[in-house]
Amino acid sequence: MGDYIVIIMGSIFINNIILAQYLGACPFVGTSKKMETATGMAGAVVFVLTLAGVITWVINTYFLVQLNIEFLRTIAFIMVIASLVQFVEMFLKKSIPALYAGLGIFLPLITTNCAVMGVTLLNVQDELSFVAAVITSIAYALGFGLALILFAGLRERIDLGRVPGPLKETSIGLVTAGMLAMAFMGFRGMV
């Protein structure tokens, strides 16, 4: 049990997928202009990453390792995740229209999200058990959501301030992201 808490804390804060591992920077900048968009994106990532964590673990353990073709891991994962997102989108549209309407355009966006790819690959690299892989995936997704929502809140406030012309919008956003990443470095060595 203690191990899992370490995994959760580690994945959310210490090895935060965005601010410590620098994965998923595109949606981090792209969908953080408004709090509403940011929360939508965070929800979608939690949803997809959990599913991707499960299915890629299965593919890796029962196919790639068994057949001794681990070098195909990247290409296989891309294919599986892309198909998965498509499938989930269709499934939700039919079965849970409310959730589909809530996640909206963010589901297809995640197809190209390197954070999802990165987490699944990290899971394999660390040779985690099934349960540990699932928990890690959820925790990384929560970390992603935390960073995104924090960042969106900051950007909304910055928008109200007087920013020099050349630094407007994304530029000041990246500077802020850098400082946020430094702040997260403070978690290093906690576990």
Partner 1 sequence: MLATIMFTLGLGGTCGIVLSAASKIFYVYEDPRIAQVEGFLAGANCGGCGFPGCSGAAEAVVSGKASPSVCMLVGPDNVAAIAAITGGEAGTAEALKSYNECIGGNRASDRYTYFGVNRCSAVASMYGGRRDCTIGCLGYGDCVRACKFDAIEMGPEGYPVINFEKCVGCGACQTVCPKTIIEVTPMSIRLTHLNTESDPLAPCRQTCPAEIDIPRYIDHIRKGEYEAAVNTIRERNPLLLTCGRVCPHPCEEMCRRAIEDDPVSINQLKRFVADIEMNSGKRYPIPCNPDTGKRIAVVGGGPAGLTVAYFLRRLGHHPTIYESMPKLGGMLRYGIPEYRLPKKVLDWEIDGILNLGIDHHVNAEMGFDFDLASLVGAGYDAVFFGVGAWNDYNLNIPGEELDGCLTGINFLAKMGKGEKVDIGKRAAVVGGGNTAIDCARTLVRMGLEKVYLVYRRTRKEMPANEVEIVAADHEGIEFVFLAAPSKVIGDENGRVKGLEYLKMELGEPDASGRRRPVPVEGSETVLEIDTIISAIGQNPDLSFKKEGTRLDDLEITRWNTFEVNPETCQTNVPYIFAAGDSQTGPATVVEAIGGARRSARAMDQFLRGKPVVGVPGALLASKKIKESIFERVKGIKQSERTQMPELPVKERIKTFEEVDLVISEKDAEKESNRCLNCCRLCYDPDITFDDKKKSAA
Q: Which residues bind partner 1 (CB under 8 A)?
A: 63-64, 67-69, 72, 75-76, 79-80, 83, 86-87, 90-91, 93-95, 159-162
**CB-nearer residue toward partner 1: 71 or 189:** 71
**CB-nearer residue toward partner 1: 83 or 129:** 83
Least distance between partner 1 and beta carbon 190 (Å): 35
Least distance between partner 1 and beta carbon 177 (Å): 20
Least distance between partner 1 and beta carbon 85 (Å): 11
Residue whose tokens read 């070098």? 71
**CB-nearer residue toward partner 1: 95 or 125:** 95
| Cβ count near 17 (within 10 Å) | 28
Least distance between partner 1 and beta carbon 143 (Å): 29
**CB-nearer residue toward partner 1: 99 or 132:** 99
